[in-house]
Amino acid sequence: MADIQERIATLYPDATFEAADITVVNIPDAQWHSLAKTLRDDPELRFDYLMTIVGMDWADSLGCIYYLNSTSTGAHISVKVTTNDRIKPMLHSVADLWAIAGIYEREVYDFFGIVFINNPDMRRLFLSIDWKGFPLRKDYDADENLNPVTTESERQSDFTDTWVEDENGKVVKKEVRVFGPEDFVVNIGPQHPATHGVLRFRTAVDGETIKKIDLYCGYIHRGVEKIAEQLTYPQTLHFMDRLDYFSAHPYHHCLCMTIEQAAGIEISRRAQVIRVLMDELSRIASHCLFIGTYCMDLGATTMLFYTLRVREQILDIMEKTCGARMTFNYECIGGVMQDLDPNFVADVHKLLEVLPANIKEYNKLFTGNVITENRLIGVGNLSREDAISWGVTGPSGRASGWACDIRKTDPYSIYSELDFEEVVRTEGDSMARFKVRMDEMVQSARIIEQLIDNIPEGEICVKVPKVLKLPKGHWCRFVEGCRGTFGTFIESDGTTSPYRLKIIPPCLPAAAVVDHITRGFKIADLITIGGSMDYIVPDIDR
């Protein structure tokens, strides 16, 4: 870490450093693009993976914190770029360096109104096109008459804006068409059986061949990050269940970990084991659902019922312990809410007994089928470089040969003590993404096997102050969610509620990359590819 800091300091004397859980580099906006290029391309640094862009409003200034990771050295760094102009805030875009930055910058623009110079597409990402104000700014006017609930259809536009610098260094706004005037554009979504929620792909097709896809999200944007700023820390937790509602435990786990780290709470071994058990059970349940719905998307409806059998069994186990089947709200700050059900161990053993036979059956019925092979192999190839540049993590990233499992790269909780393999394939096509998930179920079962008979005794939840205040500062933690790297960022001003809570979802990159990998494929392949990315819309929209 020290030599990275030294290297940056010699190249950019203006840069200053702050110590936090991940070192922060402060850099003026004018030098930001060149620093970003150095960070990405310098052979000793190689920060090729942009984890997220956190937009911030520090009252006197607006800005972004960029979280970067190097996939070769595993080093983390964050860069803070600010602007004092609150009327027309502008920063330089890095969309040309990391492909996913384009989408992340749109999100920041949507919430903070910061315009990114040279970003080719500066539309809002989640809010409607005519929304007034930028909701995550601290001076946002939440008057409901400004943005009334309307019964009219939302205005649509085929145009987007881009700000570019002319030769005098003056920033000018340009209007660009999203699609060509002759394009035949089909709306896939927002109400569509294969988008797995209210997501919309505006798809330009030439016959059956896809020319371009415009991702249009925000249909179930609930403003979780904004709401969280008005809640106390324990109250923010239950929103995590409502992001990836197919596998809520890892998300809950992540926010709990972030708050515990900030508050310096050490949780008991028993709670750790229970959390990991629940995470892995969730992973099996989530992948079961993926396999089922994916097969259904491809027309093999029967598989759904076979996979739901296992998922049901897991949900029954969860229900006995957590009292819920979907929004568990089980992990809490300091541990978990309730103790395990008395039959938990026996139930999990029963599950582990039937799981191998079920996986074998899935492979027999679906994986080896010649139609399946024709539909999946070689469809939607995502190279390792693209996966990193687009920030596609989780099973989809590992199918492209990128070993991005947070449980291995940055082990949290008790994962470092556990014996399991990270499933990585190199083909990068839809079949690889399917098979990675299939194999991950086996690995999750392995983790559960190691823990289930050794759940230590102890308290399930340590004592936490009734009124929880975090010290000033910011923290960012990542976990391996069922669909990829999930993170939460908390900035605290020392009060009982977060100054800023940023959720870093794995599904936004997964949906954003669909345009890149479907071009030239058929409409039917959009379903194959979209399904294999396994995004879930509430997680994208938040």
Partner 1 sequence: MFDFSLLTNWIHQALTSFMPEWLAVTAECVLIGLLLLTVYALLALFYIYYERKVCAAFQCRLGPDRVGPWGLLQSFADMFKMLIKELISLKYVDKFLFALAPYLVILASMLCFAVLPWGNGLQVIDFNIGIFFLIACSSIGVLGILLAGWSSANKFTLIGALRSGAQMVSYEISIGLSVVTMVVFAGSMSVGDIVSAQSDGWFIVKAHIPAIIAFLIYLVAGTAETNRGPFDLPEAESELTAGYHTEYSGIHFGFFYLAEYLNLFIVSGVATLLFFGGWMPLHIPGWEAFNSVMDYIPSVLWFIGKAIAISFIIIWFKWTFPRLRIDQLLSLEWKYLMPISLVNLVLMVLIVVYGIHL
> Among residues 375, 433, 437, 474, which is the contact residue for partner 1, using CB under 8 A?
375
305 is a site residue for partner 1 (CB under 8 A): yes
356 is a site residue for partner 1 (CB under 8 A): no
In which residue are the tokens 């969860």 written? 318
Question: Do residues 360 and 367 touch, judged by C-beta distance below 8 A?
Answer: no
Distance, C-alpha 11 to centroid of its chain: 32
Among the candidate windows 215-223, 263-271, 289-297, 341-349, which touches partner 1 by CB under 8 A?
289-297
Distance CA 387, CA 453 (A): 38
CB of 530 to partner 1, least distance (A): 10
Question: Do residues 347 and 318 touch, judged by C-beta distance below 8 A?
Answer: no
300 is a site residue for partner 1 (CB under 8 A): yes
Q: What is the dihedral of CA 513, 216, 504, 161, to 10 degrees?
A: 90
Residues 244-283 that bind partner 1 (CB under 8 A): none
192 is a site residue for partner 1 (CB under 8 A): yes
Instruction: Decide whether 462 or 524 has the Cβ nearer to partner 1.
Output: 524
Instruction: Decide whether 296 or 452 has the Cβ nearer to partner 1.
Output: 296
Contact flags string 511-530 toward partner 1, x per CB under 8 A: -----------xxxxxx---
Burial class (CB in 10 A: 0-12, 13-18, 19+), 8: buried
Distance CA 404, CA 383 (A): 14
Instruction: Decide whether 405 or 525 has the Cβ nearer to partner 1.
Output: 525
Distance CA 504, CA 445 (A): 27
Instruction: Decide whether 147 or 369 has the Cβ nearer to partner 1.
Output: 369
194 is a site residue for partner 1 (CB under 8 A): yes
Distance CA 212, CA 201 (A): 10
Distance CA 153, CA 141 (A): 23
Instruction: Decide whether 203 or 272 has the Cβ nearer to partner 1.
Output: 203
> Among residues 172, 173, 174, 193, which is the contact residue for partner 1, using CB under 8 A?
193
CB of 188 to partner 1, least distance (A): 8
180 is a site residue for partner 1 (CB under 8 A): no
17 is a site residue for partner 1 (CB under 8 A): no
CB of 205 to partner 1, least distance (A): 8
Question: Which amino acid type is present at position 453?
Answer: D
414 is a site residue for partner 1 (CB under 8 A): no
Distance, C-alpha 485 to centroid of its chain: 6
Instruction: With CB under 8 A as the rule, give the number of residues binding partner 1.
Output: 33
Size of the chain in residues: 542
CB of 521 to partner 1, least distance (A): 9
SS3 470: coil
Adjacent-strand bridge partners of 117: 92
CB of 445 to partner 1, least distance (A): 22
Distance CA 212, CA 202 (A): 8
Burial class (CB in 10 A: 0-12, 13-18, 19+), 113: buried
534 is a site residue for partner 1 (CB under 8 A): no
301 is a site residue for partner 1 (CB under 8 A): yes
- Work out the number of other CB atoms within 10 angstroms of the CB of residue 34: 13
CB of 184 to partner 1, least distance (A): 8
CB of 245 to partner 1, least distance (A): 21
Q: Summarize as ranges the residues that interact with partner 1 (CB under 8 A).
A: 184, 186-187, 192-194, 205, 208, 295-302, 304-306, 309, 365-366, 369, 371-372, 374-375, 522-527
